[in-house]
Chain A
Amino acid sequence: MPRETKHYRNVNENPCNMCMPMGGILPFKGIEDAMVIIHGSQGCSTYMRRHIAEHYNEPIDVGSSSLNEKGTIYGGSQNLFQALDNIRKVYKPRLIGILTSCLAETIGEDVEGIARDYLKQRGLDDFPLVAVSTPGYGGTHSEGYWLAVKKTVVALARPTEKHDGINVIVPNLSPADIREIKRILELMDIKYTLLPDISETLDRPIARPYTKIPPGGTKVEAIRRMPGAAATIQFGITVEENVSPGRYLQSQFGVPLYNLPVPMGVEATDMFVGLLAGLAGGSVPKTLELERGRLLDCMVDSHKYNAQGRGAVFGDPELVYAVVRTCAENGLYPAVVATGSGNTGLEDLLEPVLADCPGEVRFHNETDFAQIRTTCRETGVNIAIGHSDGKYLTEKEGIPLARMGFPIHDRVGGQRLLSVGYTGTTMFLDRITNTLLEYKHKNYRAAMYRKFYRNTGIEERGHTSLMGQAFGSEECPQLIPVLRGELR
């Protein structure tokens, strides 16, 4: 597998990632009765709420300390105190996460210190206030996510009696994915604490009466008891050590850590299911075996189409790893593997997975879509897999996009996309195959033209996409032939 890595420009043109506090909000939405505040000026929190709401189609309440010019000079602790008071009064949360924005960090706010002072002044010794320093310029939303999970564990975990439950720590997956992971755990009769659990909170059924904080999420009590667990399974093989919650539980409390890839694809799901069987000393239930069989049936049916795919996979490192691996299992190899994150481990982790890849694979870290687009062109990519911002590749290059991950803001149902476990993988692969098939049918005529009519004098006409007009792209280079029938 020949590889190649990034080049560098000053311009970030059409980013492939968001900022750190954005990622930090999500885990707090998966803790029962929790609220979260961003310490900084209010624009950041409004923007982030807007984007999260658009992906999940849910109300996303996030407080802000609404710092203004005065706060930038004298410090913002008074504003943060007020924000905490108001949030407590109106929402009655049982845990509050505090994240920082660029503003708070640039003026040097010690948010952990302010949080301690607050608790002392208000006489709230036991109230869980989890302060996380997340400067927007300090990392992407992926890092923000993991740091917030880790800080939550650090803040709550206390030495506890040993128990036979296991900890399951998940990356930013869809609520449907989390529900599937829970279903597998329950099928295997495992007692578990899953953190963070957005399965109900960010995909909330219509139900009356409406409550300000959606029901569901990991219980604070359960998080406190994580150090007593028999083991931790963390779906985070790309997670760097310093932000790894599982590693923290291992080093501080001796909880054995199984750091696995997201259970997507045959092997990774086998690993998860096999580990659970081992931990519980039980066997794998028939249901799961049937599901595994169906997945393989799907893969046998689809491999002939999927093998024609040349993929560009982009997004959060953890998901990128899982998608590349899953696709490779079915013979769909990537040409471009990209993440906006500075996480550099991906390339080495994927080396064994891509050992048999026949073509060249290009890796981009800290990248933007301008770069991804160029590489897609150079390598002949014909399917993009990742979040909505990849639509740019469709608009400019005609490459179809199979949407996956976060954020999905131009389609509905991002919260319901199921991609993990045997069943989820089956659904994921079907989406990929169908995207390829649709593309193939759409371009059938173009391909036929090239094969039979080139140099015959029958003209092939460029197709001007409507998108191209509305957004002023250069002409879409994907050509659709018009057989004019007028032979010259």
Chain B
Amino acid sequence: MAINEKMIEEILNKYPAKVKRNRKKHIVIRDSARENQEIEANTRTIPGIVTNRGCAFAGCKGVVLGPLKDMVHIVHGPIGCAYYSWLTRRNKAKTDDPKKNFLAYCVSTDMQESDIVFGGEKKLARMIDEVVEIFKPNAITISATCPVGLIGDDIQAVAKAARAKHGLNITAYSCEGYKGVSQSAGHHIANNGLMENIVGEGDWEEPPSKYTINILGEYNIGGDSWEVERVLNEIGYEVQVVMTGNGSYEKLKNAHVAQLNLVQCHRSINYIADMLEKKYGTPWLKVNFIGIRATIESLRNMALYFGDEALIKRTEEVIEKELAEIEPQLEPYKKICSGKTAFCFVGGSRGHHYQGLYEELGITTVLAGYEFAHRDDYEGRDVLPHIKSDADSKNIPDLHVTPDERRYRLKIPVERMEELQKKIPLSNYKGMIKDMMDGSIVVDDLNHYETEEFIRILKPDIFSSGIKDKYIPQKMGIPTKQLHNYDYSGPYAGFRGAINFARDVAMGFATPTWNFIVPPWKDKPLLEGSIEQCSDDTCVEEVGA
């Protein structure tokens, strides 16, 4: 069913007037006739709205820092925040040296009431000593949770002292949960910290191979980045570091040598992408390795950037080989999926990325949105100069970087850069809205109430989201696909990942379970005929039949 403004009004009428006015600006019906459709995003969450957003700490420690595997990530604060961010994202990692993978550890100062009253700096300092002794990590991060800033613990000073004492890269992130309006603030804080303290610390001056790249904004959920790297390696690329899925301090410190940075999740990492360009002259390319077409396009764009005939040829060969492998496998799933509709509401990039893959399976996305994205993720980076900064965004200052005197190299001539930018998303992202179909809905920061209402109106065949919201549609009898941690499945990226995704989605439609929801006695009479008409034995037979 198509949706119109009036229906949205009706949904919003349930809110108090002020809330209604606010929420209205976060909902847009796609209309390609209008050139720039504006949406409000990255503004304060309405209290009591039952949002799916998290906090700055979650974005900093949970998302960006957490996956770096050879570092111990200390959470300075009371125990809860550390506990809740412990292994909850399925960011996988492997190390050659099994003693240098600390992802299974949750390490916290476990502040008590007395620490809140008297301060926790000393405890933190003692704890760093212990962590160095017990784990011998390659580096340490310290993330602050809400109380830390309020009681005035100077974690930066503690980190600095510890760095001097242990001769180890120990950095602090003031990512208290109340900063900013969502986890997005935390991404920014983590980006600044990594750029300031780790990227460029290494002593490499030259890339180790001809096509050295970094992958930014890829967190290796369910092994995604391994599948992407498999294909990239086959083509002949060398991945210096993935930020930050399966990433490491050891690799990250030499990230400056790459000749190109790929950006998968624009929201969480665009700051580093931008800073790498300013500081080392490395452009970034917006890629999308979710979906077959998107993967192919991304690979071709990369080859075009390097402009090397052999590489372009090799890229086509690999694409052909991969397609030959997966296309026959995909067919049966397509048959099951074709003609269905989906909701796609995820964090800050997947709400966009998965639409293409759905489309390839024959599934139309009728509603999409992000939890914590900014306007540029919806409308494209062209909108950046027009975004007003407010008190919340000013809280997280931009880190101003300047060209590195020794290491800045223009990777490609300015003219070629300009020419390429006309063809490929080089240092640019066009956002989600432009890719959406007319009449579909874009919702920012969707909450439980609206989820339920939109489902009633649009009756999607599948709902993709996170774990908190997936149980609502399921209770309503609608299949779901968790796109934060993939319901323990994956990988979904790249060629083979697309097959996994198709299989999982098709299974959601095809499971016979849905057929049993209405009990037979509510649906139709259990036995045909009436008691008087049958003799004793025929009745027995019918019951048994």
Which A residues contact B (CB, under 8 angstroms)? Answer: 9-15, 17-22, 37, 40-44, 46-51, 53-54, 57-72, 79-80, 82-87, 89-90, 101-103, 105-107, 135-138, 140, 204, 206, 208, 210, 212, 340, 392, 395, 468-475
Structural contact, B101 and A472, CB atoms closer than 8 A: yes
In this complex, which of B58, B147, B177 has the most chain A Cβ atoms within 10 angstroms of its Cβ?
A: B177
B388 at the interface (CB under 8 A from A): no
Q: Chain A residue with minimal CB distance to B476?
A: A210
Among candidates A14, A42, A206, residue contacting B517 with C-beta atoms closer than 8 Å: A206
**Known contacts A40-B146, A471-B101; is-contact A83 B80 (Cβ 8 Å):** no
Do B517 and A68 have beta carbons less than 8 Å apart?
no
A29 to chain B, nearest CB (A): 13
What residue of chain B has the Cβ atom nearest to residue A58's Cβ? Answer: B471
B475 touches A204 (CB 8 A): yes
**11 additional contacts (CB under 8 A) given A17-B83, A103-B178, A340-B79:** A11-B127, A12-B79, A20-B80, A42-B54, A44-B80, A44-B146, A48-B84, A59-B471, A68-B178, A82-B48, A208-B476
The interface size bin for chain B is 35 or more
B14 touches A89 (CB 8 A): yes
- Shortest CB distance B125–A (Å): 9
Roughly how many angstroms separate A400 CA and B44 CA in the complex, as a whole number?
Answer: 46
Q: In the complex, are the beta carbons of B47 and A15 less than 8 A apart?
A: no
Assess the B105–A82 pair: CB atoms within 8 A.
Answer: no
Decide if A18 touches B84 in the complex (CB within 8 Å): yes
Among residues 56 to 94 in chain B, which have CB atoms less than 8 Å away from a CB atom of chain A? 56-58, 69, 77-86, 88, 92-94
Chain B residues with CB under 8 A of A9: 130
* Complexed CA–CA distance, A230 and B60 (Å): 54
Bound form: Cα–Cα A12–B106 in Å: 8
Partner of B468, one of A49, A72, A471: A49
Shortest beta-carbon distance, A113 to chain B, in Å?
18
**B83–A18 contact, CB under 8 A?**
yes
Question: Cβ of B147: which chain A residues have Cβ within 8 Å of it?
Answer: 102-103, 106, 137
Q: In the complex, what residue of chain A is closest to B472 when comparing beta carbons?
A: A59
Q: A13 contacts B107, CB within 8 Å? A: yes
Inter-chain contact B46/A82, CB cutoff 8 Å: yes
Decide if A19 touches B79 in the complex (CB within 8 Å).
yes
B151 within 8 A of A: yes
Q: Give 1 or 0 for each of B19-37: 1 = CB within 8 Å of chain A CB.
A: 1000000000000000000
Interchain CB contact (< 8 A) of A15 among B58, B108, B181: B108
Q: Are B104 and A43 in contact, with the CB atoms below 8 A? A: no
The smallest C-beta distance from A272 to any residue of chain B, in angstroms, reads 33
CB-CB < 8 A to B100: which residues of A? 472
Cβ–Cβ < 8 Å partners of A212 in chain B: 448-449, 452
Report chain A residues within 8 Å CB of B92: 470
* Interface residue from B51, B126, B449 paired with A46 (Cβ < 8 Å): B51
Partner among B104, B395, B475 whose Cβ is within 8 Å of the Cβ of A472: B104
Q: Contacts A42-B54, A47-B58 hold; do A106 and B151 have CB atoms under 8 A apart?
A: yes
Let me know if B115 is at the binding interface, CB within 8 A.
yes
A-B contact pairs, 11 of them (CB 8 A): A12-B110, A20-B80, A68-B178, A85-B48, A90-B50, A106-B116, A138-B113, A210-B452, A210-B472, A470-B94, A473-B98
Q: Which residues of A contact B452 (CB under 8 A)?
A: 210, 212
